[in-house]
Structure 1
């Protein structure tokens, strides 16, 4: 039986062509991301739904009172701040993402494939 140490595996990985390294990293990280998102997304969705339901019940029975005037005022302020920040940073962010995808096309495409496989296998 052949034993492979961690250092041997790292050395073999480093000797692979760069495009193969990128494909391995992209597909593996995509699969892990997709699998994890689907597995934990169910629990997160259930938790959020249950929280919203409890808040609604608390409001209905008078345990929770909401000052809608303050809520609307705060939402308006938050919306204006988000729009201001988005207008300042979005063009730069979009260009950086496009450049990153172009520079790492193999990693980006294999990440997407791995993500879809991970999401479907969860």
Structure 2
């Protein structure tokens, strides 16, 4: 049976870091802790990342909307021709149950969620503002 020993003040330990720090130094300098960077750099990083996200969102969103619309049309055609049978009562029950579960669960965690979002936005106000503006520009392009 292994013995348990109490730690003394003169015990020393070697700390092993498990973080994978292989990123280039210039990348860490730019993106390390953005909230401690200058206001201009925060706005630039937020704006560029927001523009990229908005551009990709608009392109992928169009493809996703087209795919969803096409699948809905094909589903209706298949149902009309008798290839599939949809139990609409069961679908309605499932949707109602999911809505009730969502309503019960979301009201409990809502204040904590808003508090965490408020803290994040307060700490990263310029990055978030730049991201929002860049996102809107990315969607527009």
Question: What count of residue pairs does the alignment treat as equivalent?
Answer: 115
Q: Which has the larger radius of gyration?
A: 2
TM-score (norm 2): 0.72
Deviation of 1:11 after TM superposition, in Å, equals 7.5
1:90 aligns with 2:110: yes
1:62 corresponds in structure 2 to: 82
Choose the corresponding residue for 2:43, options 10, 23, 30. 23
Unaligned runs of 5+ in 2: 1-22
Off by >2 Å, runs of 4+ in structure 1:
6-14, 16-21
Query: Hey, what's the Cα distance between the residues in 2 that align with 1:7 and 1:66?
Result: 55
Post-superposition Cα deviations, 1:57-111, rounded to whole Å, max 9, x if no partner, equal 1111111111122112211211111111111222211121122112211011100
Query: Hey, what's the Cα distance between the residues in 2 that align with 1:107 and 1:45?
Result: 29
3-state SS of paired residue (2:86) = coil
Unaligned runs of 5+ in 1: 1-5
Identify the structure with bigger relative contact order (alpha carbons < 8 Å, sequence gap 6+).
1
Deviation of 1:9 after TM superposition, in Å, equals 4.7
1:3 corresponds in structure 2 to: none
